[in-house]
Chain A
Amino acid sequence: DAKTTQPNSMESNEEEPVHLPCNHSTISGTDYIHWYRQLPSQGPEYVIHGLTSNVNNRMASLAIAEDRKSSTLILHRATLRDAAVYYCIRKPGTASKLTFGTGTRLQVTL
């Protein structure tokens, strides 16, 4: 099954950068790394995805290790609205479904 390993929880101060790690040591060459987040009482929300290269979008940056066995989601300036559960998902290129783990619960404090 598509397994990733994330810390259960992390804390950050508002306005500071946050680095959320993810290990996916059994990743294969065609697997994409997707990140979704789930705010309280909402459905998951797409954040970013990548294959080999680092990726940036308006929400976050994704840094993928050279051997692709780990990745880091970077929120450049955390706000209170970024408090959520962040899921790192390894998605085979041919797969349709998302296989969620338990994610990292990010707390952001003033």
Chain B
Amino acid sequence: DTGVSQNPRHKITKRGQNVTFRCDPISEHNRLYWYRQTLGQGPEFLTYFQNEAQLEKSRLLSDRFSAERPKGSFSTLEIQRTEQGDSAMYLCASSSRVWSTDTQYFGPGTRLTVL
């Protein structure tokens, strides 16, 4: 399968614990995005990378959140000291910008439940 993959698919943790999610984009894509989706809402943008550079971060990305893409390939999203409000689906997408198309291809997401 050459699509975007995310691991783990599900994560249950206790409040206060740290969690880390991984995203593997489509191999030739230089852009990688993280979104968060809560029940009944559309995905909300968190941050995006072009190669290894993090070019934009949302105000939603508090200082407990950190994302990396060290070699411009896979990316990790870490949440420190999780809170119940962090429970959501975390989606990763990748794209290869061509003109203004920039079609994003999404992974299946990681569902986080904070108890």
Contact = CB atoms under 8 A, between A and B. Distances in A.
Interface in B25-68: 31, 33, 35, 40-45, 48, 50, 55-56
B91 A44 contact: yes
Contacts of B31: 96
B106 A44 contact: yes
Contact of B55 (A85, A87, A96): A96
Which size bracket describes the interface of B in this complex?
A: 20 to 34
A24 to B, nearest CB: 15
Contacts, number: 54
A7 interface: no
B6 to A, nearest CB: 8
Contact of B33 (A93, A97, A102): A97
Contact of B100 (A32, A43, A103): A32
B108 A87 contact: no
The 5 tightest CB contacts between A and B, nearest first, are A100-B42, A43-B106, A97-B45, A93-B100, A46-B103
8 contacts: A44-B91, A44-B106, A85-B42, A96-B33, A96-B55, A96-B56, A98-B35, A99-B45
